[in-house]
Structure 1
Amino acid sequence: MSNITFSAEAFRQALLRLLPSGAIWSRDPDALPSRLAGVWGRTFFRNGARAANLLTDAFPATAVELLPEWEASLGLPDPCAGTDPTIASRQRQVVTRLTDSGGSSIAYFTAFAASLGYDITITEFVPARVDIMTVEEPLYDESWAYAWQVNAPASVVSYFEVDQSYVEEPLASWGSSALECELRARVPAHTIIIFSYSGQGAVGIWDAGIWGRDSWG
């Protein structure tokens, strides 16, 4: 968000124009009124810049100084944020929590993931039926009616951006922990969510603890 602020010189000139006329009110750069106006101009500039910054921090998508306030109101940070989240990822998580209206459709979960910065697709499964399956298809039993798979990139990389990132943040960060954590918190209670990353199949990568279960209903 770009804020329009006046420069210190603009404030100095404005202050000089407000002074009375007369010999003792010289506008000469070396005269006392002009030098005082220069000091006051820098003060007004700093105050103006801070006030303009408050407009930026008032919105969660661009908040930095007030970001902890937004997070505290939403119970953040939590384990979903990871061990060392960037400012941008924290902002996205706040916005996602604030705008989340709930849902259980494919459109809802793909949009939810997109708001976190992840481009995903979702695969649904159905039990095997002779009249609709082909020879090559796996023989899913009735339990698979309650499973669904999130297909995501193998590695989501967030790069340092000069106009958006901040001092001491890494030049690049990897990981999908926020995606998995946030989706698991919203998965319908009767279903099992599976995460697949760039070409991996479902077998062997699904949510820990369900291998060998007889029923997911």
Structure 2
Amino acid sequence: MGHIRLLQHLLPPTSYSAEAPRLRAQLHAEGNALDAALAASVRAVMGIDPFRAQEWLPDWERVYGLPDACSHPDTTLQERIMALAIAVQEQAGLSRAWFTRLAMLLGYRVVVHEYPPFCAGSHAGDMLTNGDWQWAWGVAAPAITERRFSAGRSAAGETLSSWGDHLLECVFRRLKPAHTEVLFSYGGTNAPD
């Protein structure tokens, strides 16, 4: 039942006739306005989830300060959505598992490793602090990472495939603990298949 009928039912039954020309025109105008407001409210509720309603993407990017230093001029829709996912997840944690999941959101399969410090079980003659290496950690990624065009996550006019790791390195360097250094290796023995 539309809002026109609902408004007609609100009229006192004996005092007003819903078929009177002026009243009918007013009920139609107000009923149509309420129908339009209801339809807009459904779209607004979908905007609560930034990954379901792409029409709200510019607003979500504005809220999270995107595009940022890791963006490039030819950013695809899929990369914009990934950047937003990273911005939403930014406060989640700083563990190896968190960085691995972060890389998955960016479309990379990586292995995060740390350089072990001297501890029980270390051998005589091993360095006690590993020098500056105690603040370094590594990310091993495949030699080639490909992003493919995906219906619903890409837009018309975008390339069908793209390669490169600028986004991975930029995001990791931005989110790493400030006192650490992250080293990247591609296609080595530690890299995922």
Give TM-score, length-normalised by structure 2: 0.64
Q: Is the 8 A contact 1:159 1:172 kept in 2?
A: yes
Partner of 1:186: 175
Please give the alpha-carbon distance, in whole angstroms, between the structure 2 residues aligned to 1:161 and 1:143.
43
Partner of 2:52: 62
Compute the displacement of 1:87 (Å): 0.7
**Quick check: 1:122 aligned with 2:112?**
yes
Measured at CA, do residues 156 and 121 of structure 1 come closer, stay the same or move farther in structure 2, by a change above 3 Å?
same
**Aligned runs of 1:165-204 on 2, under 5 Å?**
165-199=154-188
> Counterpart of 1:170 in structure 2: which amino acid?
T
Question: What is the aligned-residue identity percentage?
Answer: 36
Measured at CA, do residues 99 and 123 of structure 1 come closer, stay the same or move farther in structure 2, by a change above 3 Å?
closer
Cα deviation, 1:26-81, whole Å, max 9, x if unaligned, reads xxxxxxxxxxxxxxxxxxxxx79988766655421133222111101111011212
Measured at CA, do residues 166 and 80 of structure 1 come closer, stay the same or move farther in structure 2, by a change above 3 Å?
same
Q: Is the 8 A contact 1:122 1:151 kept in 2?
A: yes
Cα deviation, 1:139-192, whole Å, max 9, x if unaligned, reads x94221111101112222111123432111111112222221111112112211
Please give the alpha-carbon distance, in whole angstroms, between the structure 1 residues aligned to 2:85 and 2:56.
13
> Counterpart of 2:154 in structure 1: which amino acid?
S
> Counterpart of 1:179 in structure 2: which amino acid?
L
> Counterpart of 1:193 in structure 2: which amino acid?
V
| 1:152 corresponds to which of 138, 141, 164 | 141
> Counterpart of 2:183 in structure 1: which amino acid?
I
Partner of 1:88: 78
Cα RMSD, aligned residues only: 3.2
Structure 1 portions without partners, runs of 5+: 1-46, 134-139, 202-217
Please give the alpha-carbon distance, in whole angstroms, between the structure 1 residues aligned to 2:52 and 2:165.
22
Please give the alpha-carbon distance, in whole angstroms, between the structure 1 residues aligned to 2:164 and 2:73.
11
Partner of 1:71: 61
Q: Is the 8 A contact 1:63 1:91 kept in 2?
A: no
Please give the alpha-carbon distance, in whole angstroms, between the structure 2 residues aligned to 1:52 and 1:154.
44
Larger RCO, structures 1/2 (Cα 8 Å, 6+ apart): 2
> Counterpart of 2:168 in structure 1: which amino acid?
L
Give TM-score, length-normalised by structure 1: 0.58
Partner of 1:101: 91
Q: Is the 8 A contact 1:156 1:175 kept in 2?
A: yes
Structure 2 portions without partners, runs of 5+: 1-35, 124-128
| 2:151 corresponds to which of 144, 158, 162 | 162
